[in-house]
Structure 1
Amino acid sequence: MATNVQALGGTPLKRADAVGLAALVTAAAVMYFWRLDSNGWGNGYYAAAAQAGAADWQAFFFGSSDSGNSITVDKLPASIWLSSLSVRLFGLTSWSLLGPQALLGVGTVVLTYFTVRRHFRHSSAMIAGTVLLLSPAAAMMFRYNNPDALLTFLLTLAMYLMMRASEDGRWRWILGTGAVIGAAFLTKSAQALLLLPALAGVYMYSGPGRAGPRFLQLVTGLAAIAATAGWWLVIAEATRPDARPYAGGSFSNSFVEVLLRQNGLGRILGAAGGGTPGQEAAPPGPFRLIQFSSFGSQGAWLLPAAGLLLVAALILLRRQPRADLRRATLLFSGAWILSYCAIFSFMGGVIHPYYLIAIAPPIAMLIGATWEVLRPAQRWLPYRLVLASAVLMCGVVAFGYLSNSSPLGPVLALVVLAFCLVGCELAVFRLRNRGARRLSLVFLAATCGLGPLLFSASAIASAHTGVSPAASMLGSHTVLDSPDPSLWPDGNSQGIRGSALGHPADAQVVAFLRQADNPASRWAAASPGALNAAQYQLSLELPVMPVGGFNGGTPYPSVSQFSNYVESGDIRYYLVRHDAQDIDAEAEFADEVTDWVRAHFACVRIGDMDVFDLRQRLPNS
């Protein structure tokens, strides 16, 4: 065990350090697994795809929404593979769907610890791991089945491998980094590639050896990315369209289009669809991530302070050799944050607050590492002023987020502000008494950590479902992430909920479909939009076709194709809510199929649903 720890962390862990690491891992496990089943299926869109992949290997490979293989989800399938294997092994439960993400969360905390531990003290690595634990976005998404949990784990692993490459320049670390980035690309496509400029730029500057060989290594790393990410795309595109599910999120049944339009430049520039009705709009701009509580409260509590501390630490290390590994750690972390913040701040397409989980590990690494670099400089007043300024930034940011978070928010904001002012004063004056210094650390920790801790605790204490979960103070949930109607905002919440979460499966309809005689049908039913279809598929554990894909705006199936499926006996029932508020304004293709069904088949009202028997045509239709 000591050898493994030394290989990961650079130097052997002392017994006390090992106990501290064990405590950190235990805290992470408790945080990410506690009451995990309160989130139900999590995101039903991905949960249904995991259920389909567990039932059918073709659906597994392509990331199909249903085991009938009608249409895929609008992401590449790596995260679906993980959940599908878990469901295949343990059955369809909340734990099998969400457990893999919780394990990834624990793994990310461990990787963050060891990335810092290689060139900094145990205490700095513990600070980094603790800061990551306190990130609300991490507390939310490592308990959820969106692709972001796997993406963040892989990005952190890539950072660790590049640090190893910076130590000895071995090719295996570069190739390993390329393979990991390729796997991240299969998880969330273009978002994984945002890390490349940071990794490549810093390695070219601070890597060992001559520049020429380093450049050749990076080119080889790109080849590893292409191989790891490209094999699936080549197979998927080479498969005949009639022999695979439709590429969800595309208009031309092309996975390349999904990459470029839905999850690539289209999302960055604003050309991609698939948005969530009712989500808070944050106009693009340099302050987007911190001026809106829906964004900043998920992961930007320490972002301004981390930037200031990074600059101060780099100034202190300016005379170190080019390949200094402590400075390389800071540069890798800072460049990672800069790459993602630049895109998130100015992208014109759909953006969700939980995206900030992608910058949680590097912020944690910066806080832990800069603390060690700056601590010896506390005897100099300028650096004590820097520390006080960083604490003040944390206090001001926390005051802004907490003030609008809940009915108790203003009181909590004043408490944090009081901690901040006392902490700043104690940071400026050089305290000689050990007890006073410890007291100052308590105030600093309270200023920086109380707000994120409250938001993270609320994320664990309350249930979340839907496509855009958010960690928030109790009493301030939105329709996008809470299943409790009493917490929804006023207005057309039912209609918004249908688009954002999918209406819960009607128990009467589920009982009716279970008793129905449809053994020859490829799909037990079809329903407009993937979010509502998913609820019935998960309840029945039978394939339900999501007409029009995610939000009804994908041109599959066409009326002609749907008619052919009906004539072949592949679909038995069509389900649509009686109030017809399930789908948003982009659902033109699903609406066309729904109109055709209404015009040709008999309808029975069951609960809130109109159920059409596709074997009973209307007279003269």
Structure 2
Amino acid sequence: MAVLSPAPPRAAAPRPHLRRRGTSWRTALVVLGLGAALLTVWQLWNGSRSEYYASIALSMSHSWPDFFFGALDPAGTVTLDKIPGSYWIPALFVKLFGFSTFAVVLPNALAAVAATLITAVTGRRLGGDATGWLAGAVVATTPILIAVSRSNQPESFFVLGLALTAWAAVRAMQRAQLRWLLLAGVFVAAAFQAYMLEAWAVWPALAAGYLCTRQSWRRRIGHVVCAGLTSAALSVLWIAIVWLIPAGSRPYLGSTLHDNPWEMVFGYNGLGRFGSATADSSVYNSFTPPFSGSPGVFRLFTAQLAGQIGWLIPAALLAVALLVILRSPAWQYALVGGWLITYLVMFSAVAGMHQFYTAALAVPMALSIGTAFGRARSLGVRWPQVLLLAVTAGTAIGIGIAYGGYSVPVATAQAVLALAAVALLVRTPSGRGRFATIGLISAGMLMAPAVWSAVAISHPSATNPVAGGVSDVSIGSGFTGPAFARAAGGAAAGSGRFGMPGGFAAGRFGAGGGQPAPAANGPRPAPNGGRFGGGITGGSDDAALLSYVRAHAGGAEYLVAVFGAQQAATLIVRSDGGSVLPIGGFSGDDPVPTPDAFTAMVGAGDVPYVLVSGRGGGFGGDPSTASTQILTWVQANCIQVTDANVNGLYACAAR
């Protein structure tokens, strides 16, 4: 008699509520993505761009060596002042789709959308659907992140790198596996290519979180050391390659004294950002943008930063405390809390910065608030949820009252929604992550910053992008000379006001906005740019110059030489990638080219024309700088052109 084999067990059909939950989550991701895209991409084609960074994307698109080094000019004379990681994708967009404002800004907007979605997915792993939704919503409505992602400033790709780091780190700590910690270290290295040392500030939190996982101390320490060394090695890979290439075979490294990539990253972009306390002018340049007030404990709550990022700091700190109180796994509050506090201390201590530097806080703040809220909801504890709602709504109203640029009625409406959310919390079973409830709670927490973010659509600024009703930001006193030149010089020529009061415009300044006028016996800006960069005067003057030099330069390597990268950038963009020699690099005082190298280039017929009007960057007449010596030589040895309808143009070689 045949024995029948038992039929294989049938796979259990997915339960309806699980299907609904998955569908709801996918719908939530679509809503988050579309919302973030609306805030970052809408009207981007009419947006503002920094001509300096736009010229870099255009120049990098011309050749693979320029792409790798981050060349400022198509001839590959000098690089930008940082590792070019944030510009590789925009340069590829320009290469594929042609140069336009949309092409150089869209990659940054898409990076912000991606950061929103990745943070949401990470939050869901930490605490479920509610955590994921709220974490993604926080990133999508962080005002300063939305503002900077609508420009071509190098920030959005850094935030994306941080979001990817968090995603891999959470998996590493949930599974206690080296491979995921290694991947987190790889993403830190990728973020390093975008913003250098700021990326390494994540590592204390990564290490603390992983050391809280359940495995032997030997394995934990060994894994952290292995991943840390791998991350460090990958981080400095670009630096090491550039350092090994002979100086004569690559562009000069911008904003360095000694054409050294280690100096550029760890000096100028590292210790140099902390001002006189760490600056060593004989070893490296320093740079402290004057847009965010003075260092201090309450810096992130000033008029410049409160509505940009500071609005969520109280709730984020409260959330970290709630994670401890609610007995979350130790690695969770070690990771998000350590990350948050490290970045808060760093931004409070750095000497000077743009407001958009603080966009990096969006990821740890989002994960801390989302995780605390999700933890409380899953435990059925309502008071932490109510407290988070109260703090966020109260902070929004406080900022609206304290700083007139932010709408008090909008903040008041958020408070009303927060009260409605509290009433709904009392009636809704806590364990059910119904998105109607979560949506109302999100509105009660985020309505005001969402509106502040939306305002950035109609207030574009490429030099100092900010959100809300504070598009004009006082820079405060005490910032003059090259430091202000570097901060202000990136405005698109002809853009007039670029986010600062007191009559600031490309190439000139007034006494308003906390910036004192120069003393009667002190240095004064040169005509058409002086120490503050920008274009010549924009429009027809640039067109007349380019038309003339193109007609008379012949086959010279450079159409024209100018002083400072800001002016060169304007001409490079308006000539669609024409070769312009930026004497002095970004600051105007880089030793590139040297006087001897410049005279040799003139003798070889490579530089037929030099424009001395509209001297940009930090050029201010210091006789010890290469730029000043070159200017003196040009005025003594070249012939001023009188038939070009351009002031200050000199012919330095036979036509």
TM-score class, shorter-chain normalisation, is 0.7 to 0.9
Q: Which residue of 2 aligns with 1:594?
A: 631
Q: Which residue of 1 aligns with 2:340?
A: 337
Secondary structure in 2 aligned to 1:79?
Answer: helix
Q: Which residue of 2 aligns with 1:531?
A: 566
Contact kept? 1:268, 1:343, Cα under 8 Å:
no
Q: Which residue of 2 aligns with 1:125?
A: 132
Mind listing any 5+ residue stretches in structure 1 that lack a counterpart?
A: 1-9
Q: Which residue of 2 aligns with 1:575?
A: 611
Contact kept? 2:144, 2:465, Cα under 8 Å:
no
Contact kept? 1:423, 1:440, Cα under 8 Å:
no
Going from structure 1 to structure 2, the CA distance change for 1:584 and 1:294 (only over 3 Å counts) comes to farther
Shift, 1:88, TM fit: 1.4
Contact kept? 1:53, 1:64, Cα under 8 Å:
yes
Amino acid at match of 1:251: L
* Aligned positions of 1:417-436 closer than 5 A: 417=412, 420=415
Going from structure 1 to structure 2, the CA distance change for 1:601 and 1:274 (only over 3 Å counts) comes to farther
Contact kept? 2:474, 2:501, Cα under 8 Å:
yes
Contact kept? 2:75, 2:579, Cα under 8 Å:
yes
The CA distance in 1 between the partners of 2:424 and 2:143, in whole Å, is 33
The CA distance in 1 between the partners of 2:143 and 2:532, in whole Å, is 21
Q: Deviations over 1:229-256 (max 9, x none)?
A: 2332222111111111111111011111
Structure 1 stretch displaced more, 375-384 or 111-120: 375-384
Aligned residues: 585
Shift, 1:496, TM fit: 4.6
Shift, 1:444, TM fit: 6.6
Structure 1 stretch displaced more, 561-570 or 490-499: 490-499
The CA distance in 1 between the partners of 2:313 and 2:589, in whole Å, is 37
Q: 2:63 aligns with which of 50, 53, 56?
A: 56
Q: Deviations over 1:498-522 (max 9, x none)?
A: 5667236443433442442334222
The CA distance in 2 between the partners of 1:555 and 1:228, in whole Å, is 30
Q: Which residue of 1 aligns with 2:478?
A: none
TM-score after normalising by structure 2: 0.81
The CA distance in 2 between the partners of 1:455 and 1:382, in whole Å, is 26
Q: Which residue of 2 aligns with 1:257?
A: 263
Question: In the alignment, does 2:362 pair up with 1:360?
Answer: yes
Q: 2:158 aligns with which of 151, 169, 172?
A: 151
Mind listing any 5+ residue stretches in structure 2 that lack a counterpart?
A: 1-17, 476-487, 510-528
Amino acid at match of 2:335: F
Amino acid at match of 2:401: F
* Aligned positions of 1:468-487 closer than 5 A: 468-473=464-469, 476=472, 483-485=495-497
Shift, 1:390, TM fit: 5.2
Question: In the alignment, does 2:193 pair up with 1:186?
Answer: yes
Shift, 1:80, TM fit: 2.1
Q: Which residue of 1 aligns with 2:311?
A: 301
Going from structure 1 to structure 2, the CA distance change for 1:332 and 1:434 (only over 3 Å counts) comes to closer
The CA distance in 2 between the partners of 1:561 and 1:43, in whole Å, is 30
The CA distance in 2 between the partners of 1:413 and 1:300, in whole Å, is 16
The CA distance in 2 between the partners of 1:184 and 1:441, in whole Å, is 32
Q: 1:226 aligns with which of 211, 225, 232?
A: 232
Amino acid at match of 2:411: V
Q: Deviations over 1:359-409 (max 9, x none)?
A: 1112122222222223467867688567535543443234324x2x1xxx5
Contact kept? 2:274, 2:288, Cα under 8 Å:
no
Amino acid at match of 1:331: A
Question: In the alignment, does 2:146 pair up with 1:136?
Answer: no
Question: In the alignment, does 2:216 pair up with 1:210?
Answer: yes
Alpha-carbon RMSD across the aligned residues, in angstroms, is 3.4
The CA distance in 1 between the partners of 2:19 and 2:350, in whole Å, is 42
Secondary structure in 2 aligned to 1:55?
Answer: coil
The CA distance in 2 between the partners of 1:63 and 1:380, in whole Å, is 52
Q: Which residue of 2 aligns with 1:615?
A: 653
Contact kept? 2:560, 2:579, Cα under 8 Å:
yes
Secondary structure in 1 aligned to 2:324?
Answer: helix
Contact kept? 1:295, 1:354, Cα under 8 Å:
no
Q: Which residue of 2 aligns with 1:30?
A: 38
Q: Deviations over 1:169-226 (max 9, x none)?
A: 2222122122221122222211111111111112112x23112111111111123223
Amino acid at match of 1:344: F
Q: Deviations over 1:143-176 (max 9, x none)?
A: 2222211111111111110111112122221221
TM-score after normalising by structure 1: 0.85
The CA distance in 2 between the partners of 1:486 and 1:191, in whole Å, is 26
Question: In the alignment, does 2:102 pair up with 1:95?
Answer: yes
Going from structure 1 to structure 2, the CA distance change for 1:13 and 1:76 (only over 3 Å counts) comes to farther
The CA distance in 2 between the partners of 1:137 and 1:534, in whole Å, is 26
Q: Which residue of 2 aligns with 1:197?
A: 204
Going from structure 1 to structure 2, the CA distance change for 1:453 and 1:243 (only over 3 Å counts) comes to same
Shift, 1:429, TM fit: 8.5
Contact kept? 1:124, 1:372, Cα under 8 Å:
yes
Question: In the alignment, does 2:294 pair up with 1:283?
Answer: yes
Q: Which residue of 2 aligns with 1:3?
A: none
Contact kept? 2:382, 2:426, Cα under 8 Å:
no
Secondary structure in 1 aligned to 2:168?
Answer: helix
Secondary structure in 2 aligned to 1:574?
Answer: strand
| Percent of residue pairs bearing the same amino acid type | 27
Q: Which residue of 1 aligns with 2:461?
A: 464
Secondary structure in 2 aligned to 1:302?
Answer: helix
Amino acid at match of 2:578: L
Structure 1 stretch displaced more, 102-111 or 474-483: 474-483
Q: Which residue of 1 aligns with 2:408?
A: 413
Shift, 1:431, TM fit: 7.5
Amino acid at match of 2:460: A
Question: In the alignment, does 2:572 pair up with 1:518?
Answer: no
Q: Which residue of 1 aligns with 2:507?
A: 495
